[in-house]
Every structure is written in structure tokens, then in C-alpha cells.
């Protein structure tokens, strides 16, 4: 049984500068060889002109309408941090921060460095506060620290994501009170719970041993938690049921791991794949090829193309693409008898340093896929290909059809 390897360059799409794009310039003989044998096209991740976030774009690419399933980043971030979520749970992204006596934010990241043992100490305090506040309001509260100052706060019970952030999103502004954004009693209760946890944490922080040490060392205390991006965990039919495709994802970025997990993919990590611009892909591709024996679809997320784009680093972006291709080369024979998809989740032009709404190139290779006359994978060439112009939501049905796994529509 053939299976699909799907390589996604996050923010890989670009606009021509000096007539060229990173995909066009990059030396990527393996991807280009398979491109010459397969079909190319352009892809609107959501729909023409919509500037996607990585989360909404991935939902669409995995075959789930983001307008139906996306309720904010928090839930996916929490899933990506290995927090178990149930449908209806509300999750926030959090920052540990420093505020002054008047509640004005001095540093949104509490000096940027938080040691793992400090994060664990905060986790303990916040979960204790969560337990007490939760008991009072009849909800379950879980806090989990993720990377450095970041974490997730999950509320379970009669709660709602329709509340405002407490994060003012800038220094020099006051820590905000969360307000309900609709008239439901769930939103009112959620805002109360959030505000009480926020207040109690700032109080408890005064007595925290780690803060005494941090002060002695001249470091900023951790004395506030900022919440943003509240979202609830939607009820999502797993990808195996919806498309009859058994899928795995390899990703280092928590948000992408979370989206993949939310749609029922098995999620893997690989050494070297931390989600940075310096990632190495040898181990990730080795794992991907191994997994192809057990899965119909193996998705590999490459973050570096997006990070370099946000930095405006054209050469860095080219280098990420070239490194990936080099690590892919040993598997050419294996790929020739399977399927390969290469695309992006959105364009992040290095000239703009932000996500933009134009389509991105896509290629599909397979032993039985039409060969068109495009021999180079890039924004400038894929327009001429046999796939034409498709949307993110079209990808899974196309793959399901080639794999012979989808049901016929009608008789």
C-alpha cells in the first residue's frame, strides 16, 4: 500500500523580490525532480486573499473548515503541550510576567528567563490556587508551564471562551480585568474565575521563595499571570473517521502539534526538530519514512521557513529549504513508489515579514499522478501546473482519492 509523505514549509510561500523567491532560488534537486514527474498548482490555504494564521491554515489543510472549528488558539496550544482536553474545555495561553505595585506591566516575560525549577514552583502555586478557586465556582482548573515564561490555563465545567484577555499586550499598561463578551452565565463565571486566579496569584507571588531569590540576584520577580487567546475545545470528528485516512504528524511547534492532535493524528517528535530556523531534518525524515509503513499519511512540519521570513532573512529561508531537500535525498527511491506533497500553510514574504493572503505553490507526486510540464517547485512556476488552483480543504479529498480510501459520493 503506498502512502503519502506531506512536507509543509510553514510560511514558505513568498513574493518575488528581484524577480525571484526563496523556493525558486533554493537548490532542491530531490523536490524539483519529483516536481518534474508530478502535478503542480497553487493553493489558497483558506480562500483567496484571506491571511491565515498557522492554526487556521493547518485546520483547513487537514480538511476541517476553520470557520466552523476554530475558536481561538488556546485550545490547540494546550493540546500541543500534552494537556488532555475534552470537548467544551476552555484554554488560555499564558505569560508569566512582572508588574509593579500599581499593577502596571513592566515585563511581559518576567525578564525573559525562567528556570525550569522556577516554572515548576509557579505551576505548583497556580494549581493550588486553581483548585481552591475551582472548588468555589464548581469548575476544574489546570495550569501547565510550557516553554520559559509561557504556559496554558485550562478550565473545565460550565465555562465559556467568550471572555476578554487579561494580557494588555504591551508594557506600561495595566493588567486587565477579564470581562464577559456575551450575556451568558458561563462567560460571567469564567471571567470571575480568571480574575480571582489572577488576583490570588499576584498575592501569593509576594511570598514565593523563588521571587526572594530572584530579587537577591537582581532579577525581576514573577508576580503576574497574563491570559490571552481563550478558546474552547471543539468536538472534532477524527481524521480517520472523516477521511478514512490514518495519519501521523511530526512537528516541533506546540501549536501545530495541538492542531494535529485535535483532528486525531498521532503526533511525533524527532531529534533536531525543535521548531527553530536551525532545525536539522535527518532524523525527522528517517522517522517519517519509517512511519509511512504504518500510516496512510505522514505530515512533516518545517517551521524555519516562517521564522526566517518574520526576520526578513531571505538567505536563511533558502537555507532551510535546501537543508530539508538534502535530508530528503536518500529516500528518493522510496518516494518514487509512494506519494509526496510539498506546500506551505500560507505565504510569509520576507519583504513583508508577516503572513499574507496570496496562494502558495503545491506539488503532488505519485506513480499515477499526471506529469505536467512544471519542473521546478516555486511560486513562479506552479501556476502552470495540472492541479490548477485549489483550496486547503481540497487537499485531503484529493489524497484520499489517490489512496483509494474515500467513499464514493452517490451511486
Residues that bind Zn ion (CB under 5 A): 10-11, 54, 306, 345
The alpha-helical segments, DSSP class H, found in 42-103 are 54-61, 66-69, 74-80
Using Cβ positions, the residue closest to Zn ion within the complex turns out to be 54
**Residue 20: φ, ψ to 5°:** -120, 160
- How far apart are CB 395 and Zn ion at their closest, in Å? 15
DSSP 146-194: -STTEEEEEEESS--S-B--S--SSTTSBPPPP-BSSS-HHHHHHHHHH
Dmax over CA atoms of the chain, in Å, equals 75
Exposure string of 308-320, with b = 16+ CB inside 10 Å and e = fewer, is bbeeebbebbbbb
What is the closest distance, in whole angstroms, from the C-beta atom of residue 307 to Zn ion in the complex? 8
- Let me know: does 28 contact 315? Beta carbons within 8 Å: no
Nearer to Zn ion, 133 or 251 (CB): 251
Number of helices (H), then strands (E), belonging to the chain: the values are 15, 13
**Nearest to 377, CA basis, from 394, 362, 395:** 362
Minimum CB distance to Zn ion smaller for 167 or for 345: 345
Pick between residue 119 and residue 262 the one whose CB is nearest to Zn ion: 262
For Zn ion, the closer CB: 11 or 180: 11
Q: Closest approach of Cβ 267 to Zn ion, in Å? A: 17
Minimum distance, C-beta of residue 12 to Zn ion, in the bound complex (Å) = 9
CB of 61 to Zn ion, least distance (A): 10
Is 191:178 a contact under the CB 8 Å cutoff? yes
Q: How far is the CB of 253 from Zn ion (least distance, A)?
A: 9
- Closest contact distance (angstroms) between CB of 305 and Zn ion is 9
Nearer to Zn ion by C-beta: 221 or 275?
A: 275
Class of residue 37 by CB neighbours under 10 A (exposed 0-12, middle 13-18, buried 19+): middle
User: ∠ CA 395-409-407 to the nearest 5 degrees?
Assistant: 70
Question: Based on CB atoms, which residue is closest to Zn ion, 9 or 92?
Answer: 9
Beta pairing partners, 5: 298, 340
- Between 296 and 345, name the residue whose CB sits nearer to Zn ion: 345
CB 56 within 8 A of CB 66: yes
Cell output for 177: 480585568
Distance CA 392, CA 69 (A): 14
CB of 301 to Zn ion, least distance (A): 9
Rank residues 55 and 89 by Cβ distance to Zn ion and give the closer one. Answer: 55
Amino acid at each position: 500500500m503506498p502512502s503519502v509523505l506531506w512536507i509543509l514549509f510553514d510560511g514558505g510561500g513568498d513574493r518575488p523580490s528581484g524577480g525571484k523567491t526563496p523556493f525558486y532560488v533554493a537548490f532542491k534537486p530531490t523536490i524539483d525532480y519529483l516536481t518534474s514527474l508530478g502535478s503542480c498548482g497553487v493553493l489558497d490555504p483558506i480562500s483567496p486573499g484571506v491571511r491565515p494564521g498557522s492554526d487556521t491554515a493547518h485546520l483547513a489543510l487537514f480538511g476541517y473548515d476553520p470557520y466552523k472549528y476554530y475558536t481561538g488558539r488556546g485550545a490547540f496550544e494546550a493540546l500541543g503541550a500534552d494537556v488532555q482536553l475534552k470537548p467544551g474545555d476552555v484554554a488560555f495561553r499564558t505569560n508569566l510576567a512582572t508588574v509593579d505595585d500599581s499593577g502596571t506591566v513592566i515585563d511581559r516575560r518576567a525578564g525573559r528567563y525562567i528556570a525550569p525549577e522556577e516554572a515548576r514552583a509557579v505551576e505548583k502555586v497556580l494549581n493550588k490556587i486553581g483548585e481552591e478557586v475551582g472548588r468555589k465556582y464548581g469548575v476544574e482548573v489546570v495550569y501547565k508551564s510550557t516553554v520559559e515564561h509561557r504556559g496554558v490555563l485550562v478550565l473545565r465545567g460550565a465555562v465559556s471562551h467568550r471572555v476578554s484577555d487579561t494580557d494588555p499586550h504591551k508594557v506600561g499598561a495595566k493588567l486587565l480585568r477579564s470581562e464577559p463578551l456575551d450575556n451568558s452565565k458561563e462567560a460571567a463565571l469564567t471571567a470571575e474565575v480568571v480574575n480571582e486566579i489572577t488576583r490570588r496569584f499576584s498575592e501569593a507571588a509576594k511570598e514565593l521563595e523563588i521571587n526572594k531569590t530572584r530579587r537577591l540576584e537582581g532579577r525581576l520577580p514573577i508576580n503576574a499571570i497574563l491570559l490571552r487567546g481563550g478558546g474552547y475545545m471543539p468536538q472534532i470528528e477524527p481524521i480517520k473517521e472523516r477521511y478514512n485516512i490514518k495519519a501521523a504528524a511530526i512537528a516541533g511547534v506546540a501549536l501545530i502539534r495541538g492542531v494535529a492532535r485535535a483532528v486525531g493524528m498521532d503526533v511525533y517528535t524527532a531529534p533536531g526538530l525543535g521548531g527553530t530556523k536551525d532545525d536539522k531534518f535527518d532524523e525527522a525524515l528517517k522517522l517519517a519514512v519509517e512511519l509511512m509503513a504504518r500510516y496512510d499519511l505522514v505530515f512533516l512540519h518545517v517551521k524555519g521557513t516562517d521564522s526566517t521570513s518574520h526576520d526578513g532573512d531571505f538567505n536563511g529561508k533558502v537555507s532551510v529549504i535546501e537543508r530539508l531537500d538534502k535530508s530528503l535525498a536518500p529516500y528518493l527511491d522510496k518516494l518514487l513508489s509512494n506519494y509526496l506533497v510539498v506546500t506551505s500553510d500560507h505565504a510569509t514574504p520576507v519583504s513583508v515579514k508577516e503572513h499574507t493572503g496570496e496562494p502558495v505553490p503545491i506539488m503532488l507526486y505519485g506513480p499515477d499522478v499526471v506529469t505536467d510540464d512544471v519542473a521546478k517547485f516555486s511560486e513562479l512556476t506552479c501556476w502552470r501546473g495540472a492541479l490548477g488552483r485549489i483550496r486547503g480543504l481540497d487537499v485531503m479529498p484529493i489524497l484520499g482519492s489517490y489512496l483509494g480510501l474515500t467513499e464514493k459520493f452517490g451511486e
